[in-house]
């Protein structure tokens, strides 16, 4: 019975076969055949209308379009998650009945984040449910105990106090069977439900193993149906592949309302949460968290942290970046060292490799700083990603400062204060060696001024990269590295 209830469909051309094949006989593509439930409620795929019940053949009544102005759109209040950073990334809170996909590599803190969110919601009187397919109920309890522990000597300067006692009030279901999970949601009627993770859930009607493309798609589809029908805000936890893409079919990203990525390096304490798709808000916002012994804590003023921790040595500058609508000061570090490799190494963290290549080429061509025989390493500190053209100048200054062994700012601009304040900068580097303006210059400047970094090197001050180097590295001698 179970076997005949499924078909195998090519995701590329739609060809159907009764059993799984490595190559699609229809279009010749490899590895595109996935298992699907044979009886789709919409019946769109089969082509043949279901016999018996289908009485709508022929004269189908036409639909009636409505002017957008006349469409009723009640403003549903959003659910506050208790973590301001999460609310901001979601666009003002969790929308009831929405489906959110939270991706991130293993151990980054997805479960911890969602435990915290559910704890806050439960504490505020919202009905919640935590479905764990990965960990036993006892394991989840142990984590909740850490979150619930009163904040001891952990003297955090910012972020709310942890000690989230309500974390232990969250109802948990340790289950991987999709039918049981859905029945439980229908019975318990939570307002917010977390499925940790979508890859561990499985539908026994499909023969594919949990986590296979067909299974993940089916599981997500069924959960979405329940979410919309019962108005349950559902958060699906999704694993991330080695390449950083969300595992499972891309169709999952189309299906859900919001895709959140939880990023950072496991060895570091900083984590960023950002939306790569959001039907209810902007995708520009990012939240910064810190993993402490007592759980995840919001970093309310990340600029203060990053500037305070800046090294103030050769090869280090502060970038005035924008995280959505919020300015953020982060340290960019570079190391330039003689290479034995041809071509030499270019390693970067937190910036795009191609932009690094571009900046190095412009430095070589227009600023007389060749790195062709040197390895270049660039790192945005704290695991932050600075994926914007405005980061170019910081990369250029960090590399030039590292290559020449000169501390940015040095003693030429400082008022004798020792150690000198870090040099802040922003701007896009053009191919002809000019500096180009970037969005929100005033906000970036204001943020730098807030931390006493008044003399910001920007396109407004320095029209070319050469000018910027002269300003930021005052003792710079002319010539190659």
Where on the chain is the footprint of Mg ion (CB under 5 A)?
111
Minimum distance of ligand TYD from residue 86's CB (angstroms): 14
Out of 89, 90, 181, 294, point to the residue binding ligand TYD (CB under 6 A).
294
What mask of x and - would describe binding to ligand TYD in positions 86 to 105, judged by CB under 6 A?
------------------x-
Minimum CB–partner distance for residue 102 and Mg ion (Å): 10
- Check binding of 295 to ligand TYD (CB under 6 A): yes
Residue 112 within binding range of ligand TYD, rule CB under 6 A: yes
The reply on whether position 291 binds ligand TYD by CB under 6 A is: yes
Region of 267 please: left (phi>0), alpha (psi -120 to 50) or beta. alpha
- Identity of the residue, 111 or 122, whose beta carbon is nearer to Mg ion in the bound complex: 111
CB burial readout 249-286, b (16+ within 10 A) else e: beebbebbbbbbbbbbeeeebbbbbbbeebebbebebb
Which residue has its beta carbon closest to Mg ion? 111
DSSP string, 410-433: TTTTS-S-SSPPPPEE--EEPTTS
Stretch that binds ligand TYD, among 9-17, 70-78, 109-117, 224-232 (CB under 6 A): 109-117
Which residues are within 8 A (CB) of 255 and not within 5 positions of it... i.e. 6 or more apart?
99, 217, 220, 221, 224
Going by their DSSP bridges, the two strands 270-278 and 258-264 should be labelled as antiparallel
Give the one entry of Mg ion, ligand TYD, none that residue 106 binds, where binding means its C-beta sits below a cut-off of 5 to 8 angstroms depending on kind.
Answer: ligand TYD
Determine if 111 is a binding residue for ligand TYD (CB under 6 A). yes
SS3 360: helix
Sign, CA dihedral 69-72-77-83, equals negative
Binds ligand TYD (CB under 6 A): choice among 15, 127, 141, 146: 146
Contact flag: residue 106 with ligand TYD (CB under 6 A)? yes
Number of residues engaging ligand TYD in binding (CB under 6 A): 14
Peptide bond preceding 219 in cis form (omega within 30 of 0)? no
Nearer to ligand TYD, 44 or 293 (CB): 293
| Alpha carbons 467 and 434: distance in angstroms, whole number | 9
Ramachandran angles phi, psi of 287, nearest 5°: -115, 145
Question: 174 or 455, CB closer to ligand TYD?
Answer: 174
Q: Which does 459 bind (CB under 5 to 8 A by kind): ligand TYD, Mg ion, none?
A: none
Q: Counting beta carbons within 10 angstroms of the beta carbon of residue 87, is it exposed (0 to 12), middle (13 to 18) or buried (19 or more)?
A: buried
User: Which residue ranges make up the site for ligand TYD (CB under 6 A)?
Assistant: 104, 106-112, 143, 146, 291, 293-295
């Amino acid at each position: 019975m179970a076997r005949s209830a499924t078909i195998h469909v090519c995701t590329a051309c739609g060809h159907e076969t009764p059993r799984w094949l490595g190559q699609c006989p229809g279009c010749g593509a490899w590895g595109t055949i996935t298992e699907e439930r044979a009886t789709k409620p919409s019946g769109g795929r089969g082509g043949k209308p279901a016999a018996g019940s289908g009485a709508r053949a022929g004269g189908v009544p036409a639909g009636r379009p409505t002017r957008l102005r006349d469409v009723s759109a009640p403003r549903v209040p959003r659910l506050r998650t208790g973590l301001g950073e999460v609310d901001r990334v979601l666009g003002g809170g969790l929308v009831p009945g929405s489906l959110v996909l939270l991706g991130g590599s293993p151990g980054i803190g997805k479960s911890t984040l969602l435990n915290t969110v559910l704890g806050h919601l439960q504490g505020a009187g919202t009905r919640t449910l935590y479905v764990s397919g990965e960990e036993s109920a006892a394991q989840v309890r142990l984590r909740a105990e850490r979150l619930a522990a009163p904040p001891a000597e952990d003297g955090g300067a910012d972020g709310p106090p942890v000690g989230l006692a309500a974390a232990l009030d969250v109802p948990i279901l340790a289950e991987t069977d999709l039918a049981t999970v859905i029945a439980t949601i229908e019975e318990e009627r939570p307002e917010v439900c977390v499925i940790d993770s979508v890859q561990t859930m499985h539908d026994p009607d499909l023969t594919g193993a949990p986590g296979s493309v067909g299974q993940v798609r089916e599981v997500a589809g069924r959960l979405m149906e329940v979410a919309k029908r019962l108005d349950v805000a559902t958060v699906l936890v999704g694993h991330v592949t080695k390449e950083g893409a969300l595992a499972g079919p891309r169709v999952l990203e189309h299906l859900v309302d919001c895709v959140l990525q939880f990023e950072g390096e496991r060895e570091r304490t900083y984590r960023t949460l950002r939306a790569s798709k959001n039907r209810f808000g902007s995708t520009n916002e990012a939240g910064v968290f810190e993993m402490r012994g007592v759980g995840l804590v919001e970093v309310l003023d990340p600029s203060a942290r990053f500037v305070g921790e800046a090294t103030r040595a050769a090869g280090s500058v502060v970038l005035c970046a924008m995280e959505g609508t919020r300015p953020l000061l982060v340290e960019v570090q570079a190391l330039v060292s003689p290479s034995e490799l041809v071509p030499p190494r270019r390693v970067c963290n937190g910036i795009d490799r191609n932009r690094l290549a571009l900046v190095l080429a412009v430095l070589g061509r227009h600023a007389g700083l060749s790195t062709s025989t040197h390895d270049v390493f660039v790192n945005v500190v704290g695991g932050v990603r600075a994926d914007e053209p405005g980061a170019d100048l910081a990369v250029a200054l960090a590399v030039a400062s590292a290559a020449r062994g000169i501390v940015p700012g040095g003693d030429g601009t400082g008022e004798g204060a020792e150690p000198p304040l870090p040099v802040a900068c922003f701007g896009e580097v053009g191919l002809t060696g000019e500096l180009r303006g970037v969005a929100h210059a005033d906000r970036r400047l204001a943020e730098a001024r807030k931390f006493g970094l008044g003399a910001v090197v920007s396109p407004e001050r320095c029209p070319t990269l050469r000018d910027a180097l002269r300003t930021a590295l005052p003792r710079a001698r002319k010539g190659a590295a």
